């Protein structure tokens, strides 16, 4: 169904979008850091909540992508359009409810989660939380709308809009922080405006006729609870998996906080660099959801299996390149960051170990799972990833750091163990083929020419 040229048209914009998002996020954090230490701390606290919300909306977007891809695979455009309308309605209702709760109860919520924060930090967090919570409906609309376009194979449009709106955010920060001196409120306002702009642009484009998926006219959208339940049957397990993953990261961070200042500093830089190396391979995984979903919708599980292996191999090759490219840039980055010699040396040592191990373990642990989810096998992947993460990534990390004094290396040994276990389980599951027997759309696909 997809030639190499089709795959390139789908994957290259996805990779660029992921890389730009990572870079723009880093620039945004640096710009906020010029305000004050309290402002940086307040923004950092609220961002942990914002990331959790991003995971919730991404889960719904994944559910919508899989359902729409399967409908498109069987050439049922009407079913795909209805699914797209329902997932957009669902995320709008959910995000609006979340926004109302967060705005009305923002003070007790932040006090409950970050009650020990200093008054200046809490004031900055309250201001930033108020304005960024108002952006949740627009964040949700953009995430779902962009995912729907990717379901059709059009990843270029979301890339262009995302890049443009990130630039708007940076320009807005420059004006509100450096010129108008609005501080944290200015940074949050720029984020709100850029998210509104991204959502509105996609809503306008999606209302146009004569495209593969047409969501409008919006005034005619009515709840179709059967389709909503279908989307949620995929979105809820994915959301739980994403949410638990985020809590696991916070648990690991708690263990890291017991280390020395040098070790914490090195680990902080390594986390950023390691995450950056994963971006292109994660984008390939997102593309696999569309490709495998269409294959399964067309009743071609063998073809879905072939693309899973092919894109996993591509993910491994790309990961090898990005890991070693970032490793060779690590020393210059530590110098630019002004790190102390001991922290810089530890950073380089950790990145060398990661660059050796990660290309062998990470691809099978994270890429094939997207193809299995596209087939509807979401509960199995949720259970495996959650259990493996808490036993190895979190449990082994605590054992090595708190029990045996391994330092930050303990974090990565736990991470490697998690990746290895997932790789073995997913490889066996992929070969056995039980995932291919799952059915997202219960009715049989129409007969098609091979």
One-character DSSP codes across 50-102: HHHHHHHHHHHHHHHHHHHHHHHHTT-HHHHHHHHHHHHHHHHHHHHHHHHHH
**pLDDT for 189 beyond 50:** yes
Is the CA virtual torsion 174, 179, 184, 189 positive or negative? negative
Nearest to 140 by CA among 217, 55, 201, 220: 55
Q: Is the pLDDT of residue 447 over 50?
A: no
Question: Which pLDDT score is estimated for 129?
Answer: 93
Query: Rg of the chain's alpha carbons, rounded to an integer?
Result: 22
Q: What distance lies between CA 192 and its chain's CA centroid?
A: 19
Structure token pair of residue 89: 């309605």
Measured between alpha carbons, how far is 81 from 148 in angstroms, rounded to an integer? 10
Over residues 192-223, the pLDDT tens digits come to: 999 999 999 999 998 887 788 888 788 889 99
Query: Under a CB-based contact definition with an 8 Å cutoff, are residues 132 and 50 in contact?
Result: yes
Residue-averaged pLDDT of the chain: 89
- What is the DSSP code (8-state) at residue 447? P
Q: How confident is the model at residue 12 (pLDDT cuts 50, 70, 90)?
A: very high
220-228 contacts at long range (C-beta below 8 A, 24 or more positions apart): 221/85, 221/88, 221/89, 223/86, 223/89, 224/82, 224/85, 224/86, 227/67, 227/82, 227/83, 227/86, 228/86, 228/87, 228/89, 228/90
Higher pLDDT, 178 or 31: 178
SS3 content of the chain, % helix, strand, coil (to 5): 85, 0, 15
Ramachandran area for residue 3 (φ above 0: left; ψ -120 to 50: alpha; else beta): beta
What's the pLDDT at 449?
45
User: Per-residue pLDDT averaged across 325-351, rounded?
Assistant: 91
Dump pLDDT digits (tens) for 98-121.
999 999 999 998 888 777 678 888
- Does the reported pTM lie above 0.85? yes
Number of other CB atoms surrounding residue 169 within 10 Å? 24
pLDDT single digits (tens) 426-441: 999 999 999 999 888 8
Instruction: Return the closest-CA partner of residue 352 out of 324, 313, 319.
Output: 324
pLDDT of residue 27 exceeding 80 = no
Buried b (16+ CB within 10 A) or exposed e, 183-216: bbbbbbbbbbbbbbbbbebbbeebeeeeebbbbb
| Strand ranges in 213-371 using DSSP code E only, listed in sequence order | none
Q: pLDDT category, 91, cuts 50, 70, 90?
A: very high
Residue ranges of E strands in 245-290: none
Give me the helix-helix angle, 156-173 and 183-206, nearest 10°.
Answer: 160
- Record the tokens describing residue 394, joined without a space: 């979190």
Q: Which residue has the tokens 């790309």?
A: 318
């Amino acid at each position: 169904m997809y030639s190499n040229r089709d795959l390139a048209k789908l994957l290259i914009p996805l990779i660029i979008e992921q890389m730009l998002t990572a870079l723009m996020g880093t620039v945004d954090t640096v710009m906020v850091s010029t305000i004050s230490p309290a402002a940086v701390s307040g923004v950092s606290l609220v961002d942990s909540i914002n990331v959790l919300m991003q995971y919730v909306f991404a889960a719904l977007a994944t559910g919508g992508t899989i359902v729409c891809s399967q409908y498109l695979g069987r050439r049922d455009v009407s079913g795909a359009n209805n699914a797209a309308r329902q997932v957009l309605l669902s995320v709008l209702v959910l995000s609006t409810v979340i926004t109302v709760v967060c705005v009305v109860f923002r003070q007790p919520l932040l006090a409950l989660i970050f009650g020990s924060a200093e008054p200046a930090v809490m004031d900055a967090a309250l201001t930033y939380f108020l304005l960024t919570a108002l952006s949740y409906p627009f964040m949700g609309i953009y995430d779902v709308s962009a995912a729907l376009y990717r379901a059709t194979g059009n990843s270029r449009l979301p890339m262009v809009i995302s890049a443009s709106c990130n630039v708007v955010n940076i320009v807005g920060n420059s004006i509100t922080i450096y010129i108008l001196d609005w501080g944290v409120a200015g940074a949050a306002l720029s984020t709100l405006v850029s998210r509104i702009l991204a959502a509105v642009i996609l809503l306008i484009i999606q209302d146009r006729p004569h495209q593969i998926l047409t969501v409008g006219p919006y005034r005619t959208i009515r709840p179709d609870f059967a389709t909503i339940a279908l989307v949620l049957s995929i979105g809820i397990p994915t959301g739980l998996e994403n949410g638990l993953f985020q809590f696991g990261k916070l648990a690991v961070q708690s263990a890291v906080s017991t280390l020395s200042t040098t070790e914490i500093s090195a680990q902080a830089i390594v986390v950023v660099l390691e995450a950056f190396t994963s971006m292109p391979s994660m984008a390939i995984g997102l593309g696999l959801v569309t490709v495998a979903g269409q294959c399964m919708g067309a009743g071609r599980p063998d073809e879905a299996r072939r693309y899973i292996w092919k894109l996993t191999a591509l993910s491994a090759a790309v990961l090898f390149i990005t890991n070693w490219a970032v490793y060779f840039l690590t020393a210059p980055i530590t110098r630019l960051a002004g790190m102390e010699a001991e922290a810089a040396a530890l950073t380089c040592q950790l990145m060398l170990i990661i660059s050796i191990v990660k290309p062998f373990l990470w691809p099978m642990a994270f890429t094939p799972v997207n193809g299995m989810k596209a087939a509807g096998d979401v509960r199995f992947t949720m259970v495996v990833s959650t259990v493996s993460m808490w036993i190895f990534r979190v449990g082994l990390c605590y054992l090595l750091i708190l029990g045996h004094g391994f330092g930050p290396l303990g974090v990565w040994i736990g991470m490697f163990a998690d990746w290895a276990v997932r790789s073995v389980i997913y490889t066996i599951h992929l070969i056995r083929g039980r995932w291919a027997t799952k059915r997202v759309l219960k009715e049989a696909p129409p007969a098609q020419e091979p």
